[in-house]
Structure 1
Amino acid sequence: MTCSIILGSERDYHAHHLANYCKKRGWLVHLFDAAAFPHRDQISWSTAPQQGWLNINGKHVGFEDIHSAFWSSLEPHALAPSLQPQQQGIALADCSAMLKTWFQWDGIFWVNSYAAIHAHRVKPRQMAVAQALGALIPKTYTGNQPAAIVSLARQFPCIFKPVFGGDHAAPLTPHHVNNGHLERVLRYAPVTVQQYIPGTNVRTYVVGQRHFSAEIRATTIDYRQDPDARIVPVTLPDKMARLALSLADSLGMVWGGIDWRLSDDGDYYFLEINPSPMFIGFERQTGFPITEALFDLLTNVTGSCHSSPEINHSAQLTPPPRHPIP
């Protein structure tokens, strides 16, 4: 029977929210938690006949029955602790290979695809694509050369954040650029340093060909650190709305959350587009029908199914630790 799969853990509130909405609308949906693979759930492929299938908590789901799939979150595999390190490495690689067999199977409409999810983690390329489309980008340096960071910091007030993501943006202070601090910490990891743009934050959600935007009024540099941040619906200028749709399309996304910095002069600066953004809080504060739009996307398959040849098959499936610069 035709169905949708939602990739998310048992503790993923957004995954359960969307799954419950699909069920209320009468659409068959299964939640796949990667943490339950391989000890409980199975992923299979066979040549006799050629077919693939999932077993999710005892339920058989053929690849050919999966109309669409939603990538909410991917938990690390729960492998047996009794395995030796070499065995652990082989087991992780084998589990990853089977997951990717499913993720990249032709005929399944992903919101969003494996390629789009992992392309997002290469932030410099994402910014380069946005800039080529005409987006304004804050002056940015990504890497681990101290002199380049010092040069940028002398020109503008700056913030810094991880290259990969997973931590908040913070102001770059004299402490960070003086006394050999950069030389020490950049031996452990590169960093993204970016010109600070005075202004406010705007988030745009793209769902297929629909878009919803809101201003996030916060008192902190990173609005996620302000528990009292207010979310106010706004109308994106037509030019920026077209750019938002082009950004998602060019980066292989049919769903995403774009973060803009709206300067005091009225210019929109592109910061990033997230292919698996949280949305329930925005929906509740704004009334945006994001859940309904995602349901329509999953069930009607409106929009394009994207793929990318630039797939890193050894890419991490779990987030990194916090950045060492602080």
Structure 2
Amino acid sequence: MIHLILGNPKDIHVSHLTEALKERDSIVFHLNSRLLPVKLKAAWNSQIQNCYFTLTDGYKLRIEDIHSIFLRRISDPCVPSLGNSKQERIAFDDSMTTLRVILKSSPAFWVNNWEVSYRIHEEKPLQLVSAKKIGIKVPVTITTNDPEEVSKFAESNQKVIFKPVCGGAWTQTLTSYHLEPARLNLALKISPVTFQEYIPGTNIRTYVIDKSVYSAEVKSESVDFRKDKSCELIPFDLPDNICQQSLSIAKELGLVWTAIDWRLTPDNEYVFLEANSNPLFLYFERKTGFPITNELVTLLTKKY
């Protein structure tokens, strides 16, 4: 059984999952899209059996032979410097489109689907719309580069946090320093920002793998627990109805593998914050003992 992991083989999650799959007598290949088009060859043909990647070791991997694809990361192709930005843009677009066309022609089972992963990661505010649609409580949130909207939002909420629209930086608390008009105007001329009512309570992280649900309480005083190296992870019994909501969120977003962040309020109410379509899991697994790796391998080697 052949599996393809999209990502850099030096990534610890990639190497870990590779070894786990090999223990199940699987054959694993890696595709680092950053190597296209200089070190990675690709060919698409309307006869699907003739679509392939020629990997850096010379092996020709036909897409019809791949049983499952695990999407860890798709990096931008690295095109040669041509001294002409327009030509470089065309070369980049052609490389990315070729990559996308070949991979999407594959009959393999994806964890997770490329289009879904992109939408979930790059268009994070829409997650809240999807969750709210199926009856799940979400924080009041705006995404804007209009200073007036930010000021009104700050006045109408006791405490506000802000973060990048599609990720890449820490969540912070909005303060009078950030609201100073000249500073706010300058920041919002660079890009829109997502602002959200602060939800007091406890962080709960829930992993969904197919039909399995694993949760832990994240003990941290930080607004963004990801930067708190001293945070504790304690296995947590999620109520049955919230387990079902977790499965419903994954289904609504089109994910078979995700990490969901909740806030459990002092009133014992669960508020959905976001779902990650490409979550890190090794630290969580080590601290909780939950069989995340085994669940992922079972999902990837399942007969479809």
Whether TM exceeds 0.5 here: the answer is: yes
Q: Quote how far apart the aligned CAs of 1:105 are.
A: 1.8
> Which stretch shifts more, 40-49 or 18-27?
40-49
Deviation at 1:180, TM superposition (A): 3.2
> CA contact under 8 A between 1:43 and 1:98: conserved in structure 2?
yes
8 Å contact 2:42–2:99 — kept in the other structure? yes
Match of 1:307 in 2: none
1:62 aligned partner = 62
Letter in 2 for 1:55: T
Normalised TM-score (structure 2): 0.95
Which shifted more, 245-254 or 83-92?
Answer: 83-92
Aligned-partner SS, 2:143: strand
Q: Following TM superposition, by how much is the alpha carbon of 1:83 offset from its aligned partner in structure 2, in angstroms?
A: 4.8
| 1:291 corresponds to | 293
CA distance in 1, matches of 2:73, 2:276: 12
Match of 1:255 in 2: 257
Task: Work out whether residues 199 and 264 of structure 1, in 8 Å CA contact, stay in contact via their aligned partners in 2.
Answer: yes
- The aligned counterpart of 1:317 is none
Q: 1:182 offset after TM fit, Å? A: 2.0
SS of 1:293's equivalent in the other structure is: helix
- Conserved? CA contact 2:163–2:172, under 8 Å: yes
CA root-mean-square deviation: 1.5
Contact 1:42 1:56 in 2 (8 A): yes
User: Which whole-Å CA distance do the structure 1 matches of 2:149 and 2:181 have between them?
Assistant: 16
Correspondent of 2:160 among 158, 161, 171:
158
Q: Which protein is richer in helix relative to its size?
A: 2
Q: Structure 1 residues 301 and 231, CA, compared in 2 at 3 Å: closer, same or farther?
A: farther
- Give TM-score scaled by structure 1 length: 0.88
Q: What pairs up with 1:182-201 in 2 under 5 angstroms?
A: 182-201=184-203
Match of 1:32 in 2: 31
Partners of 1:165 and 1:273 lie apart in 2 by: 12
Partner amino acid for 1:181? R
Query: Is 2:221 the counterpart of 1:223?
Result: no
1:278 maps to 2:277:
no
Structure 1, unpaired ranges of 5+:
303-326
Counterpart position of 1:268: 270
Which aligned segments of 4 or more residues in structure 1 are displaced greater than 6 angstroms? none
Percent identity at matched positions?
36
**1:32-181 matches, cutoff 5 A:** 32-47=31-46, 51-57=50-56, 58-120=58-120, 121-156=122-157, 157-181=159-183
How many angstroms does 1:86 deviate by?
2.1
Instruction: Note the alpha carbon deviations across 1:197-244, whole angstroms, 9 max, x for none.
Output: 111111111111111111110121100111100001101111111111
Local SS of the residue matching 2:196: strand
Name the CA distance, whole Å, in 1 between partners of 2:24 and 2:284: 22
Rate the CA distance shift 1:50–1:282 in 2: closer, same or farther, 3 A.
closer
Unpaired segments ≥5 residues, structure 2: none
Return closer, same or farther for 1:132/1:48 CA change in 2, 3 Å cut-off. Answer: closer
Q: CA deviation at 1:115?
A: 1.1
Q: Secondary structure at the match of 1:25?
A: coil
